[in-house]
Amino acid sequence: MRGFHKPVPATVWALAALLLAGAVVLPFVASPFHLRLAQQILLFGGLAVAWNLLGGFTTYWSFGHAAFFGLGAFAAGLLGQQLGAEFSVAARLIIGLAFAVAISLVAAVAVALPVLRLRGIYFAIAMLAFAQILGEVSKTFDLFQGAMGFPLPLLKFPGLEKVQLFYFLFLLFCLVSVAVFVLVKRSRLGVGLTCIGQDEDTAAMLGVPTERYKLVAFVLSAMLTAAGGVLYVYGLGFMTSETVFRIDISLNLILFSMVGGIGTVAGPLIGATIMILLTQVVLGDLLDLHMMLTGAVLIAMVILAPKGLLGLFRRAWSRRRLAETVEATP
Amino acid sequence: MTKISRRTALGLFGASVVGSTALRFAPARAQDGGVIRFGGSLGMSGRYAETGLNIRHGYETAIKYLNEEMGGVEIGGKAYRFELGIVDDASDPARATTLIQRQVDEGVDFFLGSYGSNVVLPCAGITEAAGKIMVQVGASADQIFTQGYDYIFGLFPRASRAWVTSIELFKTIEPKPKSVSIIATNGAFSKLNAEAAAAGCKEIGIEVLDVLELPEQVTDASSALATIRSRTPDILITTTVDQNSLVIVRQMIATETNVPLLYQFLGPQLPAYRESLGAKATGVIMQLPWDASLDFSDPVFGDTESYISYYNETNKRPLSYHTVGASACITTYVEAMRAAGSIDPAAVRDALDAIDITTAFGPVKFTEDGDGDPILMGAKIGQVQDGKIKVIFPTDFKTGELVYPTPTWAQKG
Amino acid sequence: MDGTLFFQTLVDGLILGGIFSLSAVGFSLIFGVLGIVNLAHGIFVLLGAYLGLALKQTMGIDPLAAIPIVCAALFVLGALLQLTLVAGAVRRSSLMSSLLITFGASLILRDAVILVFGPDVQFLSSAWLVDTFHIGDVIVDGARATGLIASLLLLGLLSLALYHLKVGRAMRATAQQDFAAGLCGIDARRIYAVTFGISAAFAGASGIIIGLINPFSPFDDTYWTLNAFVTVVLGGVGSPVGALLGGLLLGEISTFSSQYVGSLYSNVFIFSALLLMLIVRPNGLLGNAYKGSV
C-alpha cells in the first residue's frame, strides 16, 4: 500500500523539525500570555486534526464533538474526585486520561453503530443531538455535578510554571493527534476513507470495508477528543457543564479545519492559529463588534478561499509553476 | 471603474489581518507613572450580556467621575488618574483566561470580575497566582470563596448566605406562612440559591412542598405551574434570572396561577419587568441588593443621591443594582488604596481585608474569605406597590409595609 | 392518572407545538429545497420580533398587524443573503460551506441587533390577544392560543401557496430534482432565492408570535435554530405539514415529559427523541427524502 504515497520530501521533514524545535524552546522565552495563546492553538488545533480523522476524509461531519470533549472531562474529573488525595495529582490525571479514553471508546462505538448509518447532514444533526443529550444529562443529574461545577486539583511539576507545564501537555496532545492523523492518512485505512469520501456505495462495492473503516476513524477521533477535554479542564482548574459542552467548541473544530483546509494535517493547525489570533489578539480588546468582525472574516474566507488557506497556497503555487513553464518554453 | 479582482481583495484582506495582528501582538506595558489601570473581563456577548452592560456602565461612570470631576486621586502623596481596560470574555473560560493573562503580563494589578463561576474561578486562579487583586460584583458561588484565595473579593455575600434576610422576613409575616415551593433553573446560580432558600425555610419550620427545576432557558413553565396550582404553597420563590422570571410570571398570570405571595429573586428590580406587567406586578417581592431610596454616604461621590444624579446626567441607560455595585467596586478600591497609602497589591489587599466603609451601594465590609458580610451587605427585601418598589425589610430601612396575602391576578386588574 | 392534568398537558403541548411548527417551517423549506442547514435561522426569528418591536415603538403598529410588513422585510433580507453570499459559496466550494456562511451571517446580524436594540430582554404586547379561557377545568393561556391560531393560519397559507401557486410547484419540483426541474424551464437560482426569502419571512412572523408569548433577547437565536433542527427531523423535511407534525410532537414531548417525569428532563427527552427518530426513521414521520439525506 505504500505505493499510494510519495515519500515525504526532505523539506517537509526539515520544516517539521524546525517547528518542533521552536515549539520546545518557546515556553522558556515567551510571556505567559503568548504561552496561553499557544496552548489554545495546540489544543484546539490538535482537536481539529482529530476531527479530521473522519470529517476530513469523508462527508461525515460531526457537529457534536463537544460530546466526547465533555465526556472525557467529566469522566476524568469525577474519577479523580473519587480517587481523592491518596493519589497524587499526576496519578489522578493519568488514570483519569486512561479512563476518559476508555469511556469515550465505549461511547463512540455505542453511538457509532446506529449513527454512522446516517449520511451527510443527518449524521451532523445526530451528533449535535448526542452532544446536547450528554450536556443536559451532566447538568440534570446531581451525580455528575455539572450544573454547580467542581474544582480539579492543581498539577505541579518541579521546575515548570503551570502555564509552561500545560503548554507541554497540550504540545504532546497535538503531536499525538498529528501522528495519528498522518499514520491513518498514509495507511490502507486512509485510502479507504478517501474512497468513502468520494463515493461510499462504489467503495463498498469495490470491497472497501466501509462500515469498519468509518467506525475506526470515528472511534480514534473520539478518543483523542476526550483526552483533549481532560487536559483542558485540568488546565482551567474548575469546570461546569458549560465549560465543556459548548456548541461553539464543536463548531470551531469545523471552522478551523475549513479555514485552513479540510483533510490535511497542516490545515486545521493553520486555521486554529489564524482564528485564535484573530478573535483573541486582533479583536480581543473590542468589547462589542468583535463577533460581527469574526463573522465578516468567516464569510470573506469562504468566498475568497473556498478550499481553505492551504488550497489557496496550492493554487498560487501551481499558477507560478505554470507561469515558469510557459516562460521556459520559447 | 476597475473591478477589484479576487487576488487583489485577498491581498488587501491578508495584509490588513497580518498588520493588525502584529500591532496587537506585543503586550504593552501600561502601568506607567500616575495612571492606575483596572483590568478584567465581562460577558458582553452571550446570555449574560445585559448584566455585563450594566456592570460596564458602573465601572465607566466611576472612572469618569474620578478623572473628570475629581481630577484624579492622591494616594500616598502622589496623584493618580484611572484607566479602564476590560475585555469581552463571551462567557468562554478559555477566552477569558487568555485575555486575563494578557493583562497580568501587561502589569495590571487590579482586576474587576466577570460573571458566572465557570469563568470567574479559572480567572481568579490566574490573578491569585500572580498576586493580583480581584474585586467583583458578578459571581457569588460559594466555591469562589472556599478555595482559600487571599486576593479575591466579592460585593455579594456567598450564595448560601444570600437568604439570611429573607428567612428573617418570613419569620415576621402574619399569618405565619406554612409552606413554600421553589422554582429554579438548571444552572449553578439558580440551583445554589434554591438550595439555600430551601434550607433556610426548613430551619424555621416552613414546609418546602416542591423544588421544581426548569431547563436553563425557560420557554414554557406550564407543567411546573400546573403542579403549583394543584398544590398551592403560601409563598412561591423563583430563583431564576430576569428573562426566565418574566416568562414564569407572565405564564402565571395567563394560567391564573395564584399564590398568596410571589417572591422573584431577580426580575422585578428591572423597570422593563414592571413595565411589561403593569398593575399585575403589584405585590411581587424581591431581593434588593441596592435601592435608590436608601441613602448612604460615599467617599467618592458624596452620597447615593448625588451618585444617582451624576449617573443619570452622564448615562442614558437606566440604573440597575449591578451598575451601582460596579461603581462601588471602584470606590472600594480607591478607598483601600488611600488607606494603604500605596498601590502595592499586597498593601491594598490588606486594606481591603480591613475595609469598613459605606458607598452609594451600601456598606462594604468583607468576611475573612472575601465575600460580602452577610448581615451588613445582605440584600434588603422589596415589594412592588403602585408600580414602585418599596423596601419592606429589614425594619430599619422600611419605606413600606408588606402586603400579605397579595390579591389574585384577576383582582389586580 | 388525573384526567384534568392529562388534558391540560395535552392542550399546553398542542399550543407550544403550533408555535414551534411555525418557527421551524422556514428552516425546513431551505433544508428541503436547497439542502442547506441555515444556521442564521434563529436570528431571522429574532429579527422578526425586533422589527415588530421597532414598528410598535416608532409607529405604534400592533405587532400582529405588523406581520405582513415584517414578512416583506425579511423576505428581502433572506433572498439577498442567498443571492449575494450563500449562492456564491455553494458554487465555489461545497454545500457544506453554506454552514460557515450562515454562521458568519448570524454573528453579524446578532451584533447588529445588539447595536440597535441593546442586549436587554424585550417583549411585545398586542391589543388583539384572546383572553385566557377555560374548557371544562382546562385553562387555555390566551396569548399562547392567539399564537397558535396565527401559526395555523400562516402554515395554511404557505401550504396553499406551495401546492397551488406556480412558484410553489416550482419550489417543490426543485426540491425533488433540481436538474430535471431546470430542464423543464425552472430557473433554479430564482427559486433558491425565493425559498430563502419565504423561509426568512416565516421565521420573522414566528418571531413576532414568540415575542408576544415570551420575552426575548439577542442571544436566543441558538435556541430557535436548535428547535428548528429538532422539529424538522421529527416531522420531515420540506413541507408545512411535516413542520406542523414535528412541532406538535415536540410540544407534546416537551410538556408530557416535564409534567410526568420532571421539567428538568424535557430537554433530555427532546434530544433523545431526535436521536431515536434519526436512527429509526431518518427522513422524519412523513418520510420524504430530500437532498439533505444524500
Considering the domain architecture, whether residues B276 and B355 belong to the same structural domain is answered as: no
Which pLDDT score is estimated for B366? 96
Closest residue in chain B to residue A141, using alpha carbons only: B186
**Judged by CB atoms within 8 Å, which residues 181-240 of A form the interface with C?**
none
In a domain, A241, yes or no: yes
In a domain, A305, yes or no: no
Residues of chain B contacting residue A165, judged by C-beta atoms under 8 Å apart: none
Is residue A175 pLDDT above 50, yes or no? yes
B248 touches chain C (CB under 8 A): no
**Residue A153: CATH number of its domain:** 1.10.3470
Residues of chain A contacting residue C233, judged by C-beta atoms under 8 Å apart: 122, 125
Measured distance CA(B409)–CA(C251) in Å, rounded: 27
The overall average pLDDT reported for chain C is 87
Average pLDDT rounded to a whole number, residues B224-246: 93
Residues of chain C contacting residue A296, judged by C-beta atoms under 8 Å apart: 104, 108
With cut-offs at 50, 70 and 90, classify the pLDDT of residue C293. Answer: very low
B143–A238 CB contact, under 8 Å: yes
Close Cβ partners of A73 (under 8 Å, ≥ 6 residues apart): A100, A229, A230, A232, A233, A239, A243, A244
Q: Please indicate whether residue B27 or residue B111 has the higher confidence score (pLDDT).
A: B111
Virtual torsion, Cα A299, B45, B126, A159, nearest 10 deg: -20
Of the candidates B6, B88, B98, the beta carbon closest to that of A36 is on B98
Measured distance CA(B340)–CA(B73) in Å, rounded: 13
Average pLDDT rounded to a whole number, residues B93-106: 93
Residues of C with CB under 8 A from a CB of B: 5, 8-9, 12, 16, 110-111, 114, 118-123, 125, 132, 139, 141-144, 213-215, 217-220, 223, 254-255, 258-259, 262-264, 266-267
Give bridge partners of residue B390 from the DSSP assignment.
Answer: B383
CB neighbours (10 Å) of residue B47?
24
Predicted confidence (pLDDT) per residue in B22-65, tens digit: 655 555 544 456 899 999 999 888 778 888 999 999 999 999 99
How far A136 CA sits from the closest chain C CA (Å)? 6
A30 touches chain B (CB under 8 A): no
Which pLDDT score is estimated for B31? 47
What percentage of chain A reaches a pLDDT higher than 70?
Answer: 98
Task: For residue C29, report the phi and psi dihedrals to the nearest 5 degrees.
Answer: -60, -50
CA-based nearest residue to C12, from C234, C260, C252, C212: C252
- Helical H segments across B152-187, by residue range: 164-172
Measured distance CA(B43)–CA(B40) in Å, rounded: 10
With cut-offs at 50, 70 and 90, classify the pLDDT of residue A4. Answer: low
In a domain, C286, yes or no: no
Considering the domain architecture, whether residues B266 and B167 belong to the same structural domain is answered as: yes
In a domain, B3, yes or no: no
The one-letter amino acid at A281: V
In a domain, A105, yes or no: yes
B9–A281 CB contact, under 8 Å: no
**Judged by CB atoms within 8 Å, which residues 212-271 of B form the interface with A?**
215-216
What ipTM, to 2 d.p.?
Answer: 0.87
Which pLDDT score is estimated for A119? 78
CB neighbours (10 Å) of residue A295?
23
With cut-offs at 50, 70 and 90, classify the pLDDT of residue A126. Answer: confident
Give bridge partners of residue A151 from the DSSP assignment.
Answer: A238
A303 touches chain C (CB under 8 A): yes
Q: Is-contact B103 B79, C-beta < 8 A?
A: no
| Structural domain of C79 | 15-124+140-221
Predicted confidence (pLDDT) per residue in B141-188, tens digit: 888 999 899 999 999 999 889 999 999 999 999 999 999 999 999 888
Which pLDDT score is estimated for C250? 93
Which pLDDT score is estimated for C132? 82
Considering the domain architecture, whether residues B97 and B57 belong to the same structural domain is answered as: yes
- Show the cell assigned to B60: 465607566
Closest residue in chain A to residue B187, using alpha carbons only: A147
Predicted confidence (pLDDT) per residue in C141-187, tens digit: 888 899 899 999 999 999 999 888 888 888 888 887 777 888 888 88
Tell me the C-alpha to C-alpha distance, in Å, between residue A199 and each of A307, B318, C86: 20, 60, 25
Measured distance CA(C44)–CA(A177) in Å, rounded: 38
Residues of chain B contacting residue C137, judged by C-beta atoms under 8 Å apart: none
CA-based nearest residue to B123, from B148, B144, B146, B150: B144
Total structural domains in chain B? 2
With cut-offs at 50, 70 and 90, classify the pLDDT of residue B20. Answer: low
C107 touches chain A (CB under 8 A): yes
In a domain, B356, yes or no: yes
Measured distance CA(B23)–CA(A278) in Å, rounded: 12
Q: Please indicate whether residue C104 or residue B1 has the higher confidence score (pLDDT).
A: C104
How long, in residues, is chain C? 294
C87 touches chain A (CB under 8 A): no
Considering the domain architecture, whether residues B252 and B282 belong to the same structural domain is answered as: yes
How far C120 CA sits from the closest chain B CA (Å)? 5
CB neighbours (10 Å) of residue C87?
18
- Helical H segments across chain C, by residue range: 3-34, 41-59, 67-81, 87-92, 97-117, 142-164, 166-176, 178-183, 188-213, 221-235, 240-260, 266-280
Of the candidates A122, A292, A295, the beta carbon closest to that of C293 is on A122
DSSP calls for B328-376:
HHHHHHHHHHHHHTS--HHHHHHHHHH--EEETTEEE-B-TTSSBPTTT
Average pLDDT rounded to a whole number, residues A308-322: 84
Which pLDDT score is estimated for C287? 60
Average pLDDT rounded to a whole number, residues C114-128: 88
Which pLDDT score is estimated for A282? 86
Measured distance CA(A260)–CA(A51) in Å, rounded: 13
| Structural domain of B316 | 35-156+292-364
How far B314 CA sits from the closest chain A CA (Å)? 20
Which pLDDT score is estimated for A324? 79
- Residue among C20, C258, C261, C269 with most chain B CBs within 10 A, to mutate: C258
Q: Please indicate whether residue B73 or residue A8 has the higher confidence score (pLDDT).
A: B73
| Structural domain of A51 | 2-247
Q: Return the number of CB contacts < 8 Å for A and C.
A: 122
With cut-offs at 50, 70 and 90, classify the pLDDT of residue A63. Answer: confident
Q: Is-contact C19 C151, C-beta < 8 A?
A: yes
User: Residues A132-137: contacts with CB within 8 Å, 24+ apart?
Assistant: A132/A64, A132/A245, A132/C226, A132/C267, A132/C271, A133/C268, A133/C271, A133/C272, A133/C275, A134/A67, A134/A70, A134/A71, A134/A245, A135/A66, A135/A67, A135/A70, A135/A241, A135/A245, A136/B215, A136/C267, A136/C268, A136/C271, A137/C268
> Is the peptide bond prior to B289 cis by the omega test (within 30 degrees of 0)?
no
In a domain, A39, yes or no: yes
> Is the peptide bond prior to B374 cis by the omega test (within 30 degrees of 0)?
no
Strands B133-136 and B110-112: parallel
Between helices C3-34 and C166-176, what is the axis angle to 10°? Answer: 80
Q: Is-contact C150 C25, C-beta < 8 A?
A: no
- Show the cell assigned to B89: 470574555
Which pLDDT score is estimated for C274? 84
CA-based nearest residue to A178, from A10, A315, A41: A41
In a domain, B14, yes or no: no
Close Cβ partners of B381 (under 8 Å, ≥ 6 residues apart): B165, B166, B169, B285, B286, B287, B288, B391, B392, B393, B394
Which pLDDT score is estimated for B1? 41
Which pLDDT score is estimated for C222? 87
Q: Look up residue B241 and give its DSSP letter.
A: -
C5–B250 CB contact, under 8 Å: no
B223–C267 CB contact, under 8 Å: no
In a domain, B231, yes or no: yes
In a domain, A309, yes or no: no
Which pLDDT score is estimated for C291? 44
With cut-offs at 50, 70 and 90, classify the pLDDT of residue A134. Answer: very high
**Residue B59: CATH number of its domain:** 3.40.50.2300
Place of cell 481553505: A308
C223–B217 CB contact, under 8 Å: yes
Cβ density class A275-291: b for 16+ within 10 Å, e for less: bbbbbbbbbbeeebbbb
Residues of chain B contacting residue C6, judged by C-beta atoms under 8 Å apart: none
In a domain, A46, yes or no: yes
Is residue B7 pLDDT above 50, yes or no? yes
A8 touches chain B (CB under 8 A): no
Give bridge partners of residue B136 from the DSSP assignment.
Answer: B154
Of the candidates C119, C122, C267, the beta carbon closest to that of B215 is on C267
In a domain, A281, yes or no: no
CA-based nearest residue to B352, from B374, B328, B375: B328
- Show the cell assigned to A191: 485510502
Residues of chain C contacting residue B230, judged by C-beta atoms under 8 Å apart: 5
In a domain, C77, yes or no: yes
Predicted confidence (pLDDT) per residue in C68-102, tens digit: 999 999 999 999 999 999 988 888 767 777 887 89
CA-based nearest residue to A44, from A209, A192, A260: A260
A83 touches chain C (CB under 8 A): no
Considering the domain architecture, whether residues B357 and B345 belong to the same structural domain is answered as: yes
Which pLDDT score is estimated for B86? 92
CA-based nearest residue to C28, from A178, A121, A295, B370: A121
Total structural domains in chain C? 1
Total structural domains in chain A? 1
Q: Is-contact A198 A17, C-beta < 8 A?
A: no
The overall average pLDDT reported for chain A is 90
Measured distance CA(B199)–CA(B160) in Å, rounded: 9
C90 touches chain A (CB under 8 A): no
Considering the domain architecture, whether residues B118 and B222 belong to the same structural domain is answered as: no
Predicted confidence (pLDDT) per residue in B83-92, tens digit: 999 999 988 9
The one-letter amino acid at A11: T
How far A186 CA sits from the closest chain B CA (Å)? 32
Close Cβ partners of B28 (under 8 Å, ≥ 6 residues apart): B106
Report helix, strand or coil for B237.
Answer: strand
Considering the domain architecture, whether residues B281 and B399 belong to the same structural domain is answered as: yes
Q: Please indicate whether residue B10 or residue C235 has the higher confidence score (pLDDT).
A: C235
Is residue B237 pLDDT above 70, yes or no? yes
Considering the domain architecture, whether residues B98 and B129 belong to the same structural domain is answered as: yes
In a domain, B1, yes or no: no
Place of cell 447615593: B304
In a domain, B342, yes or no: yes
How far A14 CA sits from the closest chain C CA (Å)? 32
Measured distance CA(C41)–CA(C202) in Å, rounded: 10
In a domain, C255, yes or no: no
Tell me the C-alpha to C-alpha distance, in Å, between residue B127 and each of A225, B347, C52, C155: 29, 16, 45, 55
Which pLDDT score is estimated for A118? 84
Considering the domain architecture, whether residues B299 and B278 belong to the same structural domain is answered as: no
- Could you give the angle at the alpha carbon of A149 between the alpha carbons of A83 and B94, nearest 5°? 105
In a domain, B100, yes or no: yes
- Show the cell assigned to B377: 451587605
Considering the domain architecture, whether residues B145 and B166 belong to the same structural domain is answered as: no
Predicted confidence (pLDDT) per residue in B257-314, tens digit: 999 999 999 999 988 888 889 899 999 999 999 988 889 999 999 999 999 999 999 9
Measured distance CA(B123)–CA(B86) in Å, rounded: 13
